[in-house]
Chain A
Amino acid sequence: MAGSTLEIKDLHVEIEGQQILKGVNLTINGGEFHAVMGPNGTGKSTLASAVMGHPKYEVTKGEILLDGEDVLEMEVDERAQAGLFLAMQYPSEISGVTNSDFLRSAINAHREEGDEISLMKFIKEMDATMNTLDMDKNMAQRYLNEGFSGGEKKRNEILQLMMVQPAIAILDEIDSGLDIDALKVVAKGINEMRNSEFGCLMITHYQRLLNYITPDHVHVMMQGRVVKSGGPELAQRLEEEGYEWIKEELGIEDETVGQKA
């Protein structure tokens, strides 16, 4: 097995006193693409945010390990430096900081002091990656996410993903708000990342994304847990039949965790 391994064990997470995750178990190995699916309000995005260390989410029980190291003991920046990446559903807008300056800081944060990327090499890589993602060149000089359309924000998240080259990436609803052409472009970028070392967890409630990025494993979340796992055929069945059959099979009436996440 090459690459890194992210293990999520019996994860319980609260936000503002409300329990959202109630025991999630999931293991992602390098080289594997996983999809976590499920209706709205079942805890999918909470899972992503908790792994990255969002300040509003509190882990009350369970473990997250990256190659055996305790992720929960790490600060957010240390998690990133250890190899985690989260493409966010709602990335922050930061006025006055150009996309390009930000990206260079992010890349250098992953490198040793004294081994910073040269400006020329950085620009070359950024140009090439923006090209792949069909992004307007002037986006490099615009302020980070400020005034970006929904689609531009998503592409920008993937641009960061491709340039930072993390060991394990979580993509939180990277397909939402994208038209079909944009979705294809984003999928192309993500597929370029595929190799025997890179592990990826895609969160989505549409099968649509999975037409372009084929997952090795599919998981369904309901009531703050993974209730069903399978191969790509599971996603196919969800696309055709919806989620009702799973609820019936498991005797679930309300699949949400009691609050829209």
Chain B
Amino acid sequence: MTVEVSLPYNKEYVTQFSQGLQEPQWMKDLRLNALDKSESLPLPKPDKTNIQGWNFTEFNHHVAGETIDSLDQLPVEIKDFLDEEEEQKNLVIQRNHTLAFGTIDEKLKEQGVIFTDMATALREHGDLVEKYYMNDAVHMDEHRLTALHAALMNGGVFLYVPKNVQIEDPIQAIFWQEDPEASLINHILVVAEENSSVTYVENYISNNKEEKTSANIVAEVIAKDGAKVSFGAVDNFEKGTTVYANRRGVAYRDSVIEWALGQMNEGDTVSENITHLIGDNSHSNAKTVAIGRGDQKQNFTANITHFGKGSDGYILQHGVMKDKSSAIFNGIGKIEHGASKSNAEQESRVLMLSKDARGDANPILLIDEDDVTAGHAASVGRVDPIQLYYLMSRGISKFEAERLIIHGFLAPVVKQLPVEAVKRQLTQVIERKVY
């Protein structure tokens, strides 16, 4: 079934938008091609969630945000993402659709590291971006939302780490949807060349409880031979924002891609996180935690597909469901023919805090090779009464015991996030959403 889209943005608009940003020709062509495709391609069909009526097309496409001179000018809700004790040396703050603040350690710059907003990257490093942008990981023509993304991309960052460069300090991006109807169509492109390593963390935030808009996020992570990328995210869009998030990794020989995703949106959300273990001995660890509340509908897919021999994939999905919310957690471990000695493990657990909530954990193993190991664990249930009993037997109240168990349940992602302030902020969000 296809639904007629009446996209308020046409060829003329897209052309002008691209020209206004002084984008390279290839980008303009990609946009126009994608715009064309977006009219005929169907929406994606996430397993067990019908997204046909969701808002992916009504929003404000371009809203400039004011730049800031100093981090002191930020409101408290944004400052919360930043470490007070330790100055963040590598930081991009995007306000609505434009860069508000950007800084990178001079030493990294000298080593050839690029970390900048996507518009600047396209102007200054167009050829490099072209090499990877929607080529290896996500394709423009997968479905209507990838096509819409490619046509209307209006933000994001480019992070490039040259060969053998090891970045110790985390790289942080804050995406602030300040305008209640602005749509973040963000593209994040992380390229780690041979034997490099980097830790990146991003935060999304908005305040639109009533006003409707949608976010369409694509993140592509390319880890070349021997590279290591650790990718952390806390998504915290308000109720009015319908979210499509597609985070995808491609891992070459001996490389590692780690994901730690705190999916804390208040609105309806479809999120897919796919990693292709292309190279031999590549490795991925994909962790997601999510909370559903109100009448929110969410669908999370984590997929690690093994192509390389001896590749190792581990998926963890933990969800807490409240009120009348519903969420589907699809965990897919796929081992392609020839990926011998590979290992696919996954764990999906859903904690139900209300009888009206709905949570499904669907662990799927698809294996087309004999010489492999694989395993999965899945559970949907309430807080374990025996765990509660144990904690309460030490004098801890039932309320506090449940609180400890829930925070513990969501700890795998909190623990892995690189910036202390981001950890703390996620913990606060969890606290606020659960209680």
Binding site for B on A (CB under 8 A): 52-55, 75-77, 79-81, 85-86, 88, 91-92, 94-97, 101-102, 105-106, 109-110, 143-144, 160, 164
Given contacts A105-B404, A109-B396, A109-B397, contact A94 B386 (CB under 8 A): no
Task: Identify B392's interface contact among A80, A95, A96, A160, CB under 8 A.
Answer: A80
Asked if B391 CB lies within 8 Å of chain A CBs, one says yes
Q: How far is the CA of A57 from the CA of B397 in the complex (A)?
A: 20
Asked if B409 CB lies within 8 Å of chain A CBs, one says yes
Given contacts A94-B405, A96-B411, contact A102 B395 (CB under 8 A): no
Is the beta-carbon distance between A88 and B393 smaller than 8 angstroms? yes
What number of A-B contacts does a CB cutoff of 8 Å give? 83
In the complex, what's the smallest C-beta–C-beta distance from A167 to chain B, in angstroms?
12
Given contacts A96-B409, A97-B407, contact A106 B389 (CB under 8 A): no
Is the beta-carbon distance between B389 and A80 smaller than 8 angstroms? no
Instruction: Say whether chain A's binding surface is mostly helix, strand, loop, or mixed.
Output: mixed
Among B385, B391, B411, B415, which residue has the most Cβ atoms of chain A within 10 A?
A: B391
Asked if B387 CB lies within 8 Å of chain A CBs, one says yes
B384 — which chain A residues lie within 8 A by C-beta? 92
Is the beta-carbon distance between A97 and B393 smaller than 8 angstroms? no
Q: How far is the CA of A81 from the CA of B392 in the complex (A)?
A: 10
A94 — which chain B residues lie within 8 A by C-beta? 387, 390-391, 404-405, 408
A102 — which chain B residues lie within 8 A by C-beta? 391, 394, 404
Name which residue of chain B comes closest to A166, CB basis.
Answer: B395
Name which residue of chain B comes closest to A82, CB basis.
Answer: B395
Is the beta-carbon distance between B407 and A96 smaller than 8 angstroms? yes
B409 — which chain A residues lie within 8 A by C-beta? 95-96
In the complex, what's the smallest C-beta–C-beta distance from B383 to chain A, in angstroms?
11
Task: Identify A80's interface contact among B393, B412, B415, CB under 8 A.
Answer: B393
Name which residue of chain B comes closest to A105, CB basis.
Answer: B396
Is the beta-carbon distance between A77 and B390 smaller than 8 angstroms? no
For chain B, the count of residues having a C-beta within 8 Å of the partner chain is 25
Q: How far is the CA of A109 from the CA of B391 in the complex (A)?
A: 11
Name which residue of chain A comes closest to B349, CB basis.
Answer: A95
A77 — which chain B residues lie within 8 A by C-beta? 392-393, 395-398, 401
Is the beta-carbon distance between A80 and B395 smaller than 8 angstroms? yes
Q: How far is the CA of A68 from the CA of B196 in the complex (A)?
A: 69
A110 — which chain B residues lie within 8 A by C-beta? 395
A80 — which chain B residues lie within 8 A by C-beta? 392-396
Asked if B410 CB lies within 8 Å of chain A CBs, one says yes
Name which residue of chain B comes closest to A109, CB basis.
Answer: B395
Can you list 9 A-B contacts (CB < 8 A)? A54-B389, A77-B392, A77-B397, A80-B392, A80-B394, A94-B408, A102-B394, A105-B396, A106-B395
Given contacts A54-B389, A76-B389, A102-B391, contact A95 B408 (CB under 8 A): yes
Q: How far is the CA of A57 from the CA of B411 in the complex (A)?
A: 32
Is the beta-carbon distance between B395 and A96 smaller than 8 angstroms? no
Is the beta-carbon distance between A105 and B400 smaller than 8 angstroms? yes
Q: How far is the CA of A96 from the CA of B423 in the complex (A)?
A: 14
In the complex, what's the smallest C-beta–C-beta distance from B228 to chain A, in angstroms?
24
Is the beta-carbon distance between A75 and B411 smaller than 8 angstroms? no
Among B397, B412, B415, which residue has the most Cβ atoms of chain A within 10 A?
A: B397
A52 — which chain B residues lie within 8 A by C-beta? 389, 393
B404 — which chain A residues lie within 8 A by C-beta? 94, 97, 101-102, 105
